[in-house]
Structure 1
Amino acid sequence: MRVASYNVENLFSRPAVLNMKDNDHAAEILARIAELTELLKLKSYASKKKRIEKLHKEVKEYISINIRSSNAGRYLFSAESKLLMDGRTEWDGFVDLRRERFSEEQIKFTGKVIKEVDADVQCLVEVESADTLKRFNTDILAARFSDRIVIDGNDPRGIDIALGTVKATPILSARTNIFARDKDGLIFSRDCLEVELGLKKNRRLHVLVNHFKAKDRNKAQSDSKRKRQAAEVSRILKTRYDLKKDLVIVAGDLNDEPDSKPIAPLIKTPGLHNVFDLVDHPLDDRWTYYYGADRQYNTIDYLFVSEALREHVTAAGLERRGMWNLEQLTDGKEKPFKGIDSWKLAGSDHAAIWVDLDI
């Protein structure tokens, strides 16, 4: 059987601020949106009025303000970004990110990657909702996955973790970890989704799908968050499973390199193995993401197997043909799917990864 992991960058739409080529510019806008959101929680806007209006003017094309109730009118800002209310006590609601719908071509290329990988168990990162995955499975994948699961995670942008399986590998149960906490609060930015799958001869396969905190301008804070997440997944593995006996896979986008300190607690978990190590896949050919601003080839998507699965690994690989500019990135060694001639048409900015298991 084949198990795969793929960050699909959402399936039908994406927050407009995230759907741009310049990641640094997107990060700046997100920081301003975060600041605006915090300032709008103030009981009185008097001392921060000019700053609030300036921020709104800078980010208004990327956000919408949803007012659920108000005693001061229907709008918080005028068209010119003039603040129309005096404080949070006058309204109840939230700041949301405006979404842009992907083109049909782009959605089809995302589906093409999944079809080419042809996995029995497909782990997915950045899925909008259960309904979105259901429509994608029906309309694009010809109902490939008989069982699917999506849990609303902790990310306010609506990028969740999901898993789909073919009929021969049914989902038996699932467990979310969105409420996992430590002394610093909620641990997971999205979730660590634990899914139990049924195999022949009444055996079980356990898959833990993750999407760790991304790197951002506050390096110390984001590194700390990923380290907490890595430590918690490791704790889950040690306390809920026997990696010498249980068939366990850890998958997903960990947003950091294999030799990084933040994800070391997971990487160094006894009895857990990177599938590319098991098949001697070249270290310089494991990259799954290209960060253009720094011209870096990043290995941030992973598949790990338990000691009990180690001897059953027969092959592992990557599917990068859904990425834009692939021919230039690989000096002509790899080419994208025909028709991906713009970054806006890429199936994702990540490669899909897969492992074959003889079980």
Structure 2
Amino acid sequence: MRLASFNVENLFDRPRAMGRDLGDRSAVLLQAHADLNAMLEHDVYTDRLKTAILERLRVLRLLGSDAATYAVLRQIRGRLLRRSKSGGTTVVAGGRGDWIGWVELTTEAISEVALRNTIRVITDVNPDVMAVVEAESRVALKRFLDAGFAELPVGSRFGHVMVIDGNDDRGIDVGIVSKPDYPIESVRSHVDDVDAYGRVFSRDSPEYTIRMPSGRRLVVIVCHLKSKGYGGQAASNATRLRQATRTAEIYRRLRAERVSWVAVVGDFNDTPASAPLEPLLQHTDLRDISQHPAFVADVRPGTYGNATASEKIDYVLLSPQLFERVRGGGVNRMGVWGGVNGDLFPHYPTITRPSQAASDHAAIFADLDTD
């Protein structure tokens, strides 16, 4: 069987603030959005907090209107703001109890060409089981797969699709899809896992149990750890460390329960030598598919963007019993636009500009003998 992981970067709609043409401004917008919604949950809006709220609204261009290019202020009941005719804006709510509302990011449709290229990547990889990172919802993912693979024989389509909404309000959840012969038997979510610092996962780290045609079970833990894209580096690293630590605990619990076939896959948003990933990569017996002799590598070690060593952030980690069953593996970066001119490595001829890329991430896969 072929097990793959692919960050599809949303299928139909992507927050405009995550646009590839925004450069560093994307991180600023996303951070302002995250900060603002956290601030709005305070019971009391002090003068200092009101100033900070207004500053984030300014970044999102919401001082003068409830709707802007990158975000929308929803004021459902009560009012957060008063806007004067002279152009001044003040926070009139005294705290969370005075109004009902939030700030959400606006979205834009993914180009049809990009969607076709995403289908092409998945078709070329041809996985039996695939972890999907940054899917908007189960409905969106199923609609995409049903339409994109309708011409294939039933046995070659993805008969099983599962996504659980996580903790990220931008619609970037993690899920799994599998061919008809690989049914999803159970799902265990970790959206509510907490540690001494609060909720652990920015999205989720679900366990999906897949039944093989042989009757054996495979448990796939799908990860999307905290990105480096926005927020202070120290805080992001600390969050990613907490998430990797908890995921390692989940893995060790499965092994203690005598589950021998376990894979931990997804977008870890950090490199193999990073301190935040040590709990997974150094303190468990998990093995990286890219380190197997049968893994077919090219001259670029990364899986994201320009695929440099500092951009190896997508993983397929296998328990020892699975690693000894590896028969092959590799990456497919044909859907990625590499470099300013897209000429760092081959890609599909249908990609003539960055917006037509299937994703900024390559798909990574492992071939396993599961008989």
TM-score by length of 2: 0.86
Of 220, 238, 241, 1:224 maps to 238
Q: Which residue number in structure 1 is paired with residue 89 of structure 2?
A: 83
Q: Which ranges in structure 2 are unaligned for 5 or more consecutive residues?
A: 62-68
Stretch moving more, 280-289 or 183-192: 280-289
Following superposition, the deviation at residue 191 of structure 1 comes to 1.0
Q: How does 1:82-231 map to 2 (within 5 A)?
A: 82-83=88-89, 86-87=92-93, 88=95, 89-142=97-150, 144-215=157-228, 216-231=230-245
Q: Is the contact made by 2:54 and 2:90 (CA closer than 8 Å) also made in structure 1?
A: no
Q: Deviations over 1:85-134 (max 9, x none)?
A: 61145421111111111111111111111111100001100011111111
Task: Please say if 1:343 is aligned against 2:365.
Answer: no
Q: Which residue number in structure 2 is paired with residue 271 of structure 1?
A: 285
Q: Which residue number in structure 2 is paired with residue 289 of structure 1?
A: 304
Measure the CA separation in 2 of the matches of 1:14 and 1:317: 28
What SS does the corresponding residue of 1:168 show, helix, strand or coil?
A: coil
Measure the CA separation in 1 of the matches of 2:142 and 2:223: 20
Stretch moving more, 13-22 or 116-125: 13-22
Q: Which residue number in structure 2 is paired with residue 32 of structure 1?
A: 32
Q: Is the contact made by 1:7 and 1:125 (CA closer than 8 Å) also made in structure 2?
A: yes
Measure the CA separation in 2 of the matches of 1:112 and 1:6: 13
Measure the CA separation in 1 of the matches of 2:101 and 2:217: 44
Q: Which residue identity is paired with 1:264?
A: E
RMSD: 2.8
Following superposition, the deviation at residue 235 of structure 1 comes to 1.0
Task: Please say if 1:355 is aligned against 2:366.
Answer: yes
Measure the CA separation in 1 of the matches of 2:364 and 2:202: 22
What SS does the corresponding residue of 2:31 show, helix, strand or coil?
A: helix
Q: Percent identity?
A: 33
Q: Which residue number in structure 2 is paired with residue 58 of structure 1?
A: 59
Stretch moving more, 334-343 or 206-215: 334-343
What SS does the corresponding residue of 1:192 show, helix, strand or coil?
A: coil
Q: Which ranges in structure 1 are unaligned for 5 or more consecutive residues?
A: none
Q: Is the contact made by 1:326 and 1:336 (CA closer than 8 Å) also made in structure 2?
A: no
Q: Deviations over 1:283-303 (max 9, x none)?
A: 9633111269xx875100000
Q: Deviations over 1:216-271 (max 9, x none)?
A: 44111111111111111111111222598611111000000001111011002443
Q: Is the contact made by 1:244 and 1:271 (CA closer than 8 Å) also made in structure 2?
A: no
Task: Please say if 1:309 is aligned against 2:311.
Answer: no
Q: Which residue identity is paired with 1:288?
A: T
Measure the CA separation in 2 of the matches of 1:238 and 1:50: 46
Task: Please say if 1:260 is aligned against 2:274.
Answer: yes
Measure the CA separation in 2 of the matches of 1:82 and 1:327: 42
Stretch moving more, 20-29 or 31-40: 31-40
User: How many corresponding residue pairs?
Assistant: 353
Measure the CA separation in 2 of the matches of 1:14 and 1:180: 27
What SS does the corresponding residue of 2:214 show, helix, strand or coil?
A: helix
Q: Is the contact made by 1:174 and 1:193 (CA closer than 8 Å) also made in structure 2?
A: yes
Name the CA shift for 1:96/1:81 in 2 (closer, same or farther; >3 Å): farther
Name the CA shift for 1:284/1:53 in 2 (closer, same or farther; >3 Å): same
Q: Is the contact made by 1:243 and 1:272 (CA closer than 8 Å) also made in structure 2?
A: no
Name the CA shift for 1:223/1:297 in 2 (closer, same or farther; >3 Å): closer
Q: Which residue identity is paired with 2:304?
A: Y
TM-score by length of 1: 0.89
Q: Is the contact made by 1:313 and 1:358 (CA closer than 8 Å) also made in structure 2?
A: yes
Measure the CA separation in 2 of the matches of 1:78 and 1:206: 57
Following superposition, the deviation at residue 177 of structure 1 comes to 0.8
Q: Is the contact made by 1:173 and 1:195 (CA closer than 8 Å) also made in structure 2?
A: yes
What SS does the corresponding residue of 2:346 show, helix, strand or coil?
A: coil
Q: Which residue number in structure 2 is paired with residue 9 of structure 1?
A: 9
Stretch moving more, 148-157 or 275-284: 275-284
Following superposition, the deviation at residue 201 of structure 1 comes to 3.4
Q: Which residue number in structure 1 is paired with residue 249 of structure 2?
A: 235
Q: Which residue identity is paired with 1:226?
A: R
Q: Which residue identity is paired with 2:5?
A: S
